[in-house]
Structure 1
Amino acid sequence: MDTEHDDWITTPITADLLRGALDLERTEHGVLPHRLPAWARAQCADGQLAMAESQPSGVRLAFRTRATVIELDTLPTKREYVGVPPRPKGQYDLLVDGRLADQASVSGGNILIIDMTNGKTETRLGSAGTIRYAELADRAKDIEIWLPHNETTELVELRTDAPVEPAPDRGRKVWLHHGSSISHGSDAASPTAIWPAVAASLGGAELINLGLAGSALLDPFTARTLRDTPADLISVKIGINVVNADLMRLRAFGPAVHGFLDTIREGHPDTPLLVVSSVLCPIHEDTPGPSAPDFSGLSEGRLTFSAMGDPDERASGKLTLRVIREELARIVEQRSADDPNLHYLDGRKLYGEADAAELPLPDQLHPDAATHRRMGERFAELAFTADGAFGASAGREA
Structure 2
Amino acid sequence: MKGIELWLPQQTPTELVALRADGDVLAPLPDGRRRWVHHGSSISHCIEADGPTGTWPVVAAGLGRVEVINLSQAGNALLDPYVARTIRDTPADLISLKVGINIVSLSAFRLRTFGPAVHGFLDTIRDGHPDTPLLLISPVSCPALEETPGPTATGPDGRLAALGDPADVAGGALSLAVARAELARIAAARQASDPHLHYLDGRELLGPDEAGDLADGLHPTATAYRRMGKRFAAHAFATDGPFR
TM-score by length of 2: 0.98
Aligned to 1:266: 127
Larger radius of gyration: 1
Residue of structure 2 equivalent to 1:153? 14
1:313 aligns with 2:174: no
- Whether the 8 Å CA contact 2:40–2:73 is kept in 1: the answer is yes
| Residue number among 219, 228, 236 corresponding to 1:366 in the alignment | 219
Q: Which has the higher helix share?
A: 2
User: 1:263 deviation in Å?
Assistant: 0.5
Q: Which residue type is aligned with residue 327 of structure 1? A: E
The aligned counterpart of 1:215 is 76
The whole-number CA distance in structure 2 between the counterparts of 1:290 and 1:181 is: 16
- State the Cα distance separating 1:342 from its structure 2 match: 0.4
- The answer to whether the 8 Å contact 1:186/1:367 transfers is no
Cα deviation, residue 179, structure 1: 0.2
Letter in 2 for 1:252: T
Q: Distance in 2 between matches of 1:388 and 1:352?
A: 20
Distance 2:66 2:120 in 1: 27
1:339 aligns with 2:194: yes
Distance 1:185 1:362 in 2: 13
- For 2:207, the equivalent position in structure 1 comes to 352
Higher percent of residues as strand: 1
SS at match of 1:159: coil
Q: What's the counterpart of residue 387 of structure 1?
A: 240
Q: 2:103 aligns with which of 242, 247, 263?
A: 242
Unaligned 5+ segments in structure 1 are 1-139, 298-302, 392-398
Offset of residue 248 of structure 1: 1.0
Partner of 1:175, secondary structure, is strand
Provide the rounded CA distance (Å) in 2 between the counterparts of 1:389 and 1:186: 27
Structure 2 letter corresponding to 1:380? A
Deviations 1:22-47 (A, max 9, x none): xxxxxxxxxxxxxxxxxxxxxxxxxx
Give the superposition deviation at 1:304.
2.3
Matches within 5 A, 1:132-281: 140-281=1-142
Unaligned runs of 5+ in 2: none
Instruction: Provide the C-alpha distance between the structure 1 equivalents of 2:154 and 2:28, rounded to a whole number of angstroms.
Output: 43
Corresponding position: 1:377 with 2:238 = no
SS of match in other structure, 1:144: coil
Partner of 1:325: 180
User: What's the CA shift string for 1:103-158, capped at 9, x where partnerless?
Assistant: xxxxxxxxxxxxxxxxxxxxxxxxxxxxxxxxxxxxx2111110000111111222
Rounded Cα–Cα distance in structure 2 between residues aligned with 1:194 and 1:245: 24
Identity %: 59
Note the C-alpha offset of 1:293.
1.8
Higher normalized contact order (CA 8 Å, seq sep 6+, divided by chain length) = 2
Distance in 1 (alpha carbons) for counterparts of 2:77 and 2:175: 15
TM (normalized to structure 1)? Answer: 0.60
Q: CA RMSD in A?
A: 0.9
CA distance in 2, matches of 1:333, 1:341: 12
